[in-house]
Amino acid sequence: MAKILKVKEKYSLIGAINLGVAMQLTNIARDVIEDKKNKRFYINHDFNSIKKNIQMADKFYLYSLYSIRNIPIGFRFSILVARRIYRQIGYEILKEKNIHNYNKAGKIYVSKIKKCFQTFFSLIDFVQILCTKTKRQKNSNLYSIIKKKINLYERI
């Protein structure tokens, strides 16, 4: 999406990759039960694996924040909101505490009131990245934790 929005700075494109990886990891954790029913296995069907997946996603969410600064201002807020709401899905999963509760919970979602809170926090993020100098976080070790070789510069 960053390329469609004409983001050119390499650091911001890497941040966009970080956000995409984080959201995909969240989707994988959220869909474990449905995937098992359909005989798709991206991670083990145990709560420890799900928890590790969400913790990994959280690192990618963290490293994506300041790169959003270089996305055109008209799109920035909606991306910040999506980032926060997806991240909240992971937190909602962790509240289930074990695989039995998670299986019983069905599809995890973020309630409307929590979406409102996340939207408010996104407004704070928006002002924060607008008013602070870009923080370039070193994240070269980040990709090694997903245990798959990623050619980070393949599409940049």
- pTM across the whole model: 0.86
Among 21-30, 63-72, 103-112, 137-146, the minimum mean pLDDT is found in 137-146
43 vs 148: CA distance, rounded Å: 14
149 vs 67: CA distance, rounded Å: 22
Asked if the model's pLDDT at residue 122 lies above 60, the reply is yes
Domain ranges of the chain: 10-146
Distance from CA of residue 116 to its chain's centroid?
A: 18
Residue 11: its pLDDT value, please?
Answer: 82
Across residues 11-20, what is the average pLDDT?
A: 89
Query: In this predicted model, what pLDDT tens digit does every residue of 55-80 receive, in sequence order?
Result: 999 999 999 999 999 888 999 999 99
140 vs 79: CA distance, rounded Å: 23
Q: Look up residue 4 and give its amino acid.
A: I
85 vs 81: CA distance, rounded Å: 6
b/e sequence 47-75, b meaning 16+ C-beta within 10 Å: bebbbbbbebbbbbbebbbbbbbbbeeee
Residue 94: its pLDDT value, please?
Answer: 98
CATH topology of domain 10-146: Farnesyl Diphosphate Synthase (1.10.600)
Query: In this predicted model, what pLDDT tens digit does every residue of 22-54 receive, in sequence order?
Result: 999 999 999 998 888 899 988 998 999 999 999
127 vs 76: CA distance, rounded Å: 11
Binning pLDDT at 50, 70 and 90, where does residue 2 land? Answer: confident
Ranges of H-type helices in the chain = 10-30, 32-37, 47-64, 73-94, 99-105, 112-131
Binning pLDDT at 50, 70 and 90, where does residue 6 land? Answer: confident
Residue 147: its pLDDT value, please?
Answer: 54
Residue 143: its pLDDT value, please?
Answer: 66
Residue 14: its pLDDT value, please?
Answer: 87
131 vs 45: CA distance, rounded Å: 43
Residue 154: its pLDDT value, please?
Answer: 60
